[in-house]
Amino acid sequence: MITRYGATRDELQNLLTTEPRYRIDQVWTGLYSELSTPEEMTALPKTLRAHLTDLLPNSLLLVEQIVSDDDTTIKFLWELDGGSRIETVLMLYPDRATVCVSTQAGCAMGCGFCATGQAGFTRHLTAGEIVEQIVRAAQHAKGMGRRVSNVVYMGMGEPLANEEPVWESIVRIHDDLGLSARHLTVSTVGIVPGINRLASRPLPVNLAVSLHAANDSLRDALVPINRRYPIKALMEACSNFLESKNRRLTFEWALISEVNDKPSDAIELAQLCRSFRVPAHVNLIPLNPTPGYSVKGSSRNHVQAFCDQLVSMGANATVRRNRGTDIAAACGQLAAGQPVQITRSK
């Protein structure tokens, strides 16, 4: 089925064979530059607008929209064709607006601390479903007088396990929505061949690698795919990624109390980066609690001490604010049907 943001320009042309070429351009500009629905494309004749609404249906049905206490984080829960549910989060900062997108309904990677991993895999998202998440969030931002500037592939699912649709969506976001590749970040659990292919793709997007452990025995336990792609192979792929021009790399590290938050863990991480000459930026975030994982996130003091230890060893690290904890904005928590404390629902 052809959907509103799944259709390529050629497919749109084929749907509207009797229309002159400039009409196709108008529709394309309406969809991507103006973020308009067909009904809002007032430059088009009324009959064509109605026809387009039928020809190009949305692929995401809004189930719920939740706004954080301070109005800066908006979470969308969508239902897909087939009934599965996914999430998108819009985060408004003073200097930028970031959309966090899902790439799969569920995930097959089985990381025990992650709500999406606990739910298991349902299906891949299409490029159209990924692009539409950004457009729908951007329409919301536009209503608040804001423009989406950044996209992070850090929602539900593993982007590099759904590579082609993810890449197709990146090209669409870059070419048609007009975002720069430097403002797009793909987050991966560490699929080595996928990282190598990403390094050779033409658009220099940023990469975030969810490391969480700097030795194989701990990483095997936290991130099962490490058994297939152990740390040495992962670090070599990261180094290769950095060598291809203009790319930025970050390591994600969810701090889990007494599991990976000790000074010795920070020292091991700093040494790992040094020995593989991978000058990555480390993003530290205390683990968000999920019902399927009994261990807690680290205390604020532990997080800061871990950060200070890394910095003292010459590594680059920042503590990330836990955005939207009050609306369960961590990966997959809402779609997994967890009881969430909803402060305000719109």
**Mind telling me the catalytic residues?**
87, 331
Q: Any contact of residue 114 with ligand SF4 (CB under 6 A)?
A: yes
In sequence order, the 6+-apart residues with CB closer than 8 A to the CB of 185 are: 150, 151, 152, 153, 154, 205, 206, 207, 208, 250
Dihedral sign from CA coordinates of 153, 205, 310, 279: positive
Indicate whether 192 belongs to the interface with ligand SAH (CB under 6 A): no
Q: Does 117 bind ligand SF4 (CB under 6 A)?
A: yes
Nearest Cα residue to 269 out of 226, 314, 321, 221: 314
Q: How far is the CB of 114 from ligand SF4 (least distance, A)?
A: 3
Q: Tokens for 102?
A: 């899902």
Contact assessment for residue 149 and residue 187, using Cβ atoms and an 8 Å cutoff: no
Which positions from 98 through 117 interact with ligand SAH, judged by CB under 6 A?
A: 113-114
Q: Residue 252: which of ligand SAH, ligand SF4, none does it interact with, CB under 5 to 8 A by kind?
A: ligand SAH
Q: 102, 87 in Cβ contact below 8 A?
A: yes
Stretch that binds ligand SF4, among 104-112, 125-133, 257-265, 292-300 (CB under 6 A): 104-112
Phi-psi region of 145 (alpha: psi -120 to 50; beta: other; left: phi over 0): left
Binding site partner of 88, from ligand SF4, ligand SAH, none, Cβ cut-off 5-8 A by kind: none
Size of the site for ligand SAH (CB under 6 A): 16
Give the one entry of ligand SAH, ligand SF4, none that residue 154 binds, where binding means its C-beta sits below a cut-off of 5 to 8 angstroms depending on kind: ligand SAH
Helices 231-243 and 192-200, axial angle in degrees (round to 10): 10
Task: Retrieve residue 139's tokens.
Answer: 């329409």
36/298 with CB nearer ligand SAH: 298
Residues of span 240-279 touching ligand SAH by CB under 6 A: 252, 254
Instruction: Kindly list the residues in this chain that would bind ligand SAH in the complex (CB under 6 A).
Output: 113-114, 154, 158, 187-189, 210, 252, 254, 285, 287-288, 290, 330-331
Residues at the interface with ligand SF4 (CB under 6 A): 107, 109, 111, 114, 116-117, 157-158, 189, 210, 331
